């Protein structure tokens, strides 16, 4: 995955996605106010950065696809359904039984066929792969497909233009696609830091083992919806550009999400608040004069959750 791939994705996506804004502010930290820049990616179409990747993959497909199939616990399915609808393509999303109703309803609202299979993302993905072969459809991956990673990496190119200097960029790690895309876009121009829940440290485990490894979920993420291993692309990019992992507790993630609503009236899902939790809990402490960039990546929270 190279910067050139991300730049090519940006050309394909011009006019089809939102260039999401940044917001310079200060947030509460362990020892007082901390200057930060928030990248408001939760304002993207569908409330998720993943629509960038789905659109790029469909536009780059050769031959052009008329049907796509993807496995997803939520946002990747919403993104694929939205992108397919925009391009006039049929979309099927395979979800695990524990997929949130709110996210399934969003997939339906964009015209997707939704099929339930298994209790984990891994089980749903295996079924989706077989189904794509059976139906001669384009198989999409939520985070481990070059065109998907390149598409979401356009976030990094936007930040390069929106934020002066070379501040570090804190990004939540689910399957690693957003982290990998941003790191591929920026190379060593800026430090990218992956923020993971303590209950699912898939990037840290892979960096330690020097290969993707299965990690059993616990706490807030033990719902079958998060990836249980880092993507191969994400691990390759993380090693190449020195991406490191910091871990945040469930309590810190929940507190960061509550803080965003209380102070800014920003509604994000738990994953969307993970990067902010790293600063507020002190696991990432910016040196004096540094204003880190925090990517708020998803807004598809359960209503009342």
Q: Tell me the pLDDT tens digit for each residue of 210-259.
A: 999 988 766 655 443 467 889 999 999 999 999 999 999 999 999 999 99
Pick from 178, 277, 295: which is nearest to 219 by CA?
277
Summarize the confidence of residues 162-178 as an average pLDDT.
Answer: 95
Q: Are residues 186 and 285 in the same domain?
A: yes
The boundaries of the domain holding residue 19 are 3-48+147-295
Q: Would 19 be classed as within a structural domain?
A: yes
Q: Would 34 be classed as within a structural domain?
A: yes
DSSP string of 136-184?
A: T-EEP-SS-SHHHHHHHTHHHHHHHHHS-S---EEEE-SSSHHHHHHHH
Q: Would 301 be classed as within a structural domain?
A: no
Summarize the confidence of residues 143-165 as an average pLDDT.
Answer: 97
Picking from 116, 143, 170, the residue at the C-terminal end of a domain is 143
Q: Would 210 be classed as within a structural domain?
A: yes
Summarize the confidence of residues 53-58 as an average pLDDT.
Answer: 97
Q: What's the CATH number where 187 sits?
A: 3.40.50.1100
The reported pLDDT for the residue numbered 215 is: 86
Q: Are residues 89 and 113 in the same domain?
A: yes
Q: Are residues 120 and 108 in the same domain?
A: yes
Residue 49 pLDDT greater than 80, yes or no: yes
Full-model pTM: 0.94
The reported pLDDT for the residue numbered 223 is: 42
Residue 172 pLDDT greater than 60, yes or no: yes
Q: Would 207 be classed as within a structural domain?
A: yes
Q: Are residues 164 and 267 in the same domain?
A: yes
Confidence of residue 305 (pLDDT cuts 50, 70, 90): very low
């Amino acid at each position: 995955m190279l910067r050139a791939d991300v730049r090519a994705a940006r050309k394909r996506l011009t006019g089809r996605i939102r260039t999401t804004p940044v917001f310079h502010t200060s947030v509460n930290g362990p020892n007082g106010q901390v200057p930060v820049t928030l990248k408001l990616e939760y304002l993207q179409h569908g409330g998720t950065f993943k629509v960038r990747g789905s659109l790029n993959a469909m536009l780059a497909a050769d031959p052009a696809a008329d049907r796509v199939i993807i496995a997803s616990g939520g946002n990747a399915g919403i993104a694929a359904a939205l992108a397919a609808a925009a391009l006039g393509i049929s979309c099927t999303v395979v979800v695990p039984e524990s997929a949130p109703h709110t996210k399934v309803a969003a997939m339906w609202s964009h015209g997707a066929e939704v099929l339930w299979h298994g209790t984990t993302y891994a089980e749903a993905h295996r079924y989706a792969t077989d189904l794509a072969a059976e139906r001669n459809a384009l198989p999409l991956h939520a985070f481990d497909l070059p065109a998907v990673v390149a598409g979401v990496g356009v976030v990094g190119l936007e930040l390069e233009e929106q934020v002066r200097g070379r501040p570090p960029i804190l990004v939540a790690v689910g399957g690693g696609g957003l982290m990998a895309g941003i790191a591929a876009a920026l190379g060593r121009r800026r430090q990218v830091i992956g923020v993971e829940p303590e209950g699912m440290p898939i990037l840290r485990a892979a960096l330690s083992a020097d290969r993707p490894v299965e990690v059993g979920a616990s706490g807030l993420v033990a719902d079958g919806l998060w990836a249980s291993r880092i993507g191969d692309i994400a691990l390759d990019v993380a090693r190449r550009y020195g991406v490191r992992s910091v871990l945040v507790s469930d309590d810190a993630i929940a507190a960061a999400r509550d803080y965003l609503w209380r102070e800014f009236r920003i509604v994000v899902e738990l994953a969307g608040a993970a990067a902010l939790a790293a600063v507020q809990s002190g696991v990432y402490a910016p040196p004096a004069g540094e204003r880190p960039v925090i990517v708020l990546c998803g807004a598809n929270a359960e209503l009342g959750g």
